[in-house]
Amino acid sequence: MNPAPVELGRYRRGARQFIMFGIVGGSGMVVNMIVTVLMNKANGGTQNAQDILFPLAGTEFNFRFTTLVWVVAFFVANVYNFLLNRHWTFGKGHKAPAWQEFWPFLVVGSVAAAAGIFIKLAFTNPTSPLYLQEPFWHEDAGIHSREYWSQLLTILITMPINFVVNKLWTFRAVRNRHHARSMADAVI
């Protein structure tokens, strides 16, 4: 048998899943940005995003409102993305129970979110070489908001990592282990 059609089918399936994951990610980005806008509005606007919430013990650094926004928006979008990816992007084949797939999905997302915190801070810290400079980025108009653009750019940077690791670990390895256990139980 010629392996080329099998490889071509696998390539097409992977490309289709990547596109679907991107669509889910795009809609999750909208969810993330809605949470971001709502939280910033509730805090008096993006000009207050750098407000210090508390110092980080034993360091010269602080936990800022912008970081809280990143974490909360990530979690809400992560749950949304998991549900949509589980049922649509990776919905075919054997599924493990939702909780067995959710925890790896959350861990993968959390690692990307942790990296994202530093990326977002680099975009919003005036001493960083990645700082989004004025006059284009400022907090006087929403479309030019450094806070919103840093959120959006950070999501775009971390999305490919999420796809690859979730495809290989969350929705393949976890399901394969679950399927193998199910088959072993059926034999007994």
Q: End-to-end CA distance of the chain: give it in Å, rounded.
A: 35
Decide: 69 and 50 in contact? Cβ < 8 Å: no
Asked if residue 177 has pLDDT above 90, the reply is: no
State pLDDT tens for residues 114-160: 989 999 999 999 999 999 998 888 888 778 899 999 999 998 888 87
146-165 vs 98-124: helix crossing angle, rounded to 10 = 140
Report the candidate in 158, 162, 148 with the shortest Cα–Cα distance to residue 30. Answer: 148
Q: Residues near 84 by Cβ (< 8 Å), separated by ≥ 6?
A: 24, 27, 28
State pLDDT tens for residues 43-98: 999 999 999 999 999 999 999 999 999 999 999 999 999 889 888 877 776 667 77
What pLDDT sits at residue 11? 78
Is the backbone peptide bond immediately before 3 cis, with ω within 30 degrees of 0?
A: no
Joined tokens for residue 135: 């006059």
Joined tokens for residue 179: 């399927």
State pLDDT tens for residues 3-29: 666 677 777 877 888 888 889 888 999
Position 108 confidence tier, pLDDT thresholds 50, 70, 90: confident
* 3-class DSSP state of 38: helix
Which of 36-45, 108-117, 121-130, 167-176 is least confident? 167-176
Asked if residue 1 has pLDDT above 60, the reply is: no
Joined tokens for residue 4: 């080329």
Interatomic CA distance for residues 172 and 136, integer angstroms = 43
Longest dimension (CA), the chain: 69
Strands 62-64 and 52-55: antiparallel
What pLDDT sits at residue 86? 84
Question: pLDDT higher for 76 or 188?
Answer: 76
Give the distance from CA 127 to its chain's centroid: 26
Joined tokens for residue 180: 């193998």
Question: pLDDT higher for 76 or 178?
Answer: 76
In this prediction the pTM is 0.76
